[in-house]
Structure 1
Amino acid sequence: MTPFQALYGREPPTMACYVLGSNSNVLVEHEVIDLFKHNLSKAHQRMKEYADKKRRRLEFSMGDWVSRPQFTLHETCLLKRIGEVAYKLELPDEARIHPVFHVLMLKYCIGTPDTQVTPLQLKDVETVTPSNLADK
């Protein structure tokens, strides 16, 4: 018993026999392969058209202020464009990350850092600590 018979419970399929001078099997195989390639390219084209409808092209110019939604701490200035979809950012000195980001990782900031809202400083707010809780 062959491994194929043990696995599938039947004899393995036989190879198509080729007769010298006959190429009908080869022609049929080429027609089937050509049909598969044609259908595959049509399906690929449909998927590409659908994806392109949903895609938007992002471009920034040098000096624009952008933020990185993954790191919401700072707005940074664009230094230069690298290739089609990458930008180098001006990062703070204490930043320990690489300064080049993909365009999809950036978000355009409206205004300049001078007009950005600063956090509100609350005054006369009682700080609750365990010692304050014990006194009450």
Structure 2
Amino acid sequence: MGTKLKKSTAYHLQTDDYTEILNKCLEGYLRCMVGEKHSAWVSWLPLTEWWYNTTYHSAIQTTPYEALYGQTPPLHLPYIAGATPVASVDRTLQQREAMRKMLKFHLSRAQDRMKQMADKWRSEREFQVGDLVYLKLQPYRQHSLHKFRNQKLSPRHFGPFPVEARVRKVVYRLSLPSSSRIYPTFHVSQLKKHIGSAVSALTFPQIGSNRALLKSPVRILDRHLVK
């Protein structure tokens, strides 16, 4: 296969980073599965290997299963008790189904709890096509808005901009300037309706292709040529 052995030194992850990432992923998966019974981690190794091989990897842009067999992995089918005559296999598969149902239950309950907490601070907002809205951004996170030296005290709302279309119930597309380097689709929580007739527009700073502010010099004082 053309493989070569490279010896690595301690505390230098760049030598065998793929191995370290693999171990990190497997440890995290086993930690979630054996949280209530740590001594049963060995029995989870086959399912852990299946999970890793059927998970999308950004390094190879596919799953290891597809890279090896050339096809997508089969979907998980629920196990019916008594489908296999081997008692140990039947018991293992029943435990796996019980664990899968428990995980789905806990995940569903966690999602409902997070939704209830988030809905406490939400307000009903709805805009029509053509309405003027202000766009809320975070300049200290948005690299294309690094215009002010003190990012914490810089403006949070820009605009107003007209609503171009309603993509979904809580997603709108705005008509931004042509010089804007921001994707024009935003969640309704980032928008605030413009009230009144007076418009105090605060446009985006002009950003070049290298994410640097486009500045025009007042005058050229000197010139120096470097080869």
TM-score range normalised by the length of the shorter chain: 0.5 to 0.7
Matched, 1:87 2:172: yes
Contact 2:172 2:188 in 1 (8 A): no
Q: CA deviation at 1:50?
A: 1.0
AA aligned to 2:186 is H
Task: Find the aligned partners of 1:22 and 1:68 in 2 and give their Cα distance.
Answer: 63
In the TM superposition, what is the alpha-carbon distance from 1:99 to its structure 2 partner?
A: 5.7
Contact 1:90 1:99 survives alignment (8 Å):
no
Q: Tell me what 2:98 maps to.
A: 35
Is 1:100 the equivalent of 2:167?
A: no
Segments of structure 1 that go 5 or more residues without pairing to the other structure are 1-12, 14-20, 119-136
2:167 and 2:173 in contact (8 A); partners too: yes
Q: Output the CA distance in 2 between the equivalents of 1:99 and 1:32.
A: 46
Q: CA deviation at 1:65?
A: 1.9
Question: Structure 1's 107 and 23: CA in aligned 2 closer, same or farther, altered over 3 A?
Answer: same
Contact 1:58 1:103 in 2 (8 A): no
Q: State the SS of the aligned residue for 1:79.
A: strand
Give how far 1:97 is off.
2.7
Cα pair 1:86 1:100 within 8 Å, conserved: no
Q: CA RMSD in A?
A: 3.1
- Residue from 94, 112, 115 that aligns with 2:198: 115
Q: Which runs of 5+ in 2 are unaligned?
A: 1-41, 43-83, 138-155, 202-227
- Alpha-carbon deviations, 1:79-122, whole Å to 9, x = none? 112345542212345x323462221563222414x23569xxxx
Q: What secondary structure sits across from 1:45 in the alignment?
A: helix
Matched-pair contact (CA < 8 Å) for 1:77–1:90: yes
Query: Number of residue pairs matched?
Result: 97
Seen in structure 2, the aligned counterparts of structure 1 residues 59 and 26 have a Cα distance that, compared at 3 Å, is farther
1:69 is aligned with what amino acid?
Answer: K
Give the aligned partner of residue 51 of structure 1. Answer: 114
- Greater strand fraction, Structure 1 or Structure 2: 1
C-alpha distance 97-84 of structure 1, shift in aligned 2 (>3 A)? farther
Q: Give the stretch that moved more between structures: 96-105 or 36-45.
A: 96-105
Q: 1:25 aligns with which of 88, 92, 96?
A: 88
Report the 3-state secondary structure (helix = DSSP H, G, I; strand = E; otherwise coil) of the residue aligned with 2:160.
Answer: strand
Shift of 1:37: 0.7
Aligned equivalent of 1:60, options 127, 130, 142: 127
Shift of the 25–65 alpha-carbon distance from structure 1 to 2, 3 Å rule, reads same
List per-residue Cα deviations over 1:55-76 (Å, max 9, x = no partner): 4475432122211121634211
Tell me the residue number matched to 2:149.
Answer: none
